[in-house]
Amino acid sequence: MAWSTRELAELAGTTVNTIRHYHRLGLLDEPERRYNGYKQYGVRDLVRLLRIRRLAELGVPLAQIGEVGAGGDSTPDALRQLDAELAAHIERLQKARFDIAAILRDNAPADVPAGFESVASRLSEADSAIIHIYTQLYDEDAMADLRRMVEADVGSIGCDIDVLAPDADEATRQRLAERLAPILAQNLVDYPWLSDPVAHLSKSEHVTRRTFIDAVTELYNTAQLDVLHRASILAHEQLRIARGANGGG
């Protein structure tokens, strides 16, 4: 029995282009040709093609099919490595499905930072952007704490800062800073690592500091940055006074 390239492709459940690709890679030998110049494939070609397809279905890279298919000593190790890669891929897919379910459940933007779906409505464009950057700078524990901080912000202070105009007057800035300071102070108490985040960094201190400065400078306007700076100073002062009143504890 002899088959044309098209017939062989149909029989093997693949395409003519795939067979030609296997020829170019040297995985499938070129067959004999008929008197009219057309290729003719036999049973051995079909079996070889089916074996190649089987290994490809398992996820074996085309570059390794020849080696794995030969069944040498390295085949078990290659399959174990492939299995580990598939397991990691499956884990990524499962996480993606989990995240999609959360996005749909909370009606959150599709590009919301992972884990922040339930609080997406509280995040301004700048907040969402900075959290995306934080995911590359801090570990999972720090990001979980950050999500809890956002969840705890039940007031309107975040919204008021979001809409603060760059030319906001002195009184407005000071008023917002005074409202924000107790929240920052409480965060410093609840999450002590905020004062010394080194243990939670995914990148070096230098890279983290430089990235943070560049990000907040570009994402927030001058009035917002001024409020955040004032609130930080006030928060630390409030903590100093509170600790002094408690005998330095």
Question: Higher confidence at residue 53 or residue 155?
Answer: 53
Q: What is the mean pLDDT of residues 107-125?
A: 91
Report whether 154 contacts 183 (CB < 8 A).
Answer: no
Report whether 68 contacts 75 (CB < 8 A).
Answer: yes
Structural domain for 229, as ranges: 115-245
Task: Report the CATH number that the domain containing residue 18 is assigned in CATH.
Answer: 1.10.1660.10
Specify whether 168 is located in the same domain as 233.
Answer: yes
In tens, the pLDDT along 170-214 reads 999 999 999 999 999 999 999 999 999 999 999 999 999 999 999
Report whether 201 contacts 150 (CB < 8 A).
Answer: no
In tens, the pLDDT along 216-234 reads 999 999 999 999 999 999 9
Specify whether 53 is located in the same domain as 141.
Answer: no
Q: Could you give the dihedral angle defined by the CA atoms of residues 229, 129, 169 and 186, in that order, rounded to the nearest 10 degrees? A: -40
Strands 39-40 and 32-33: antiparallel
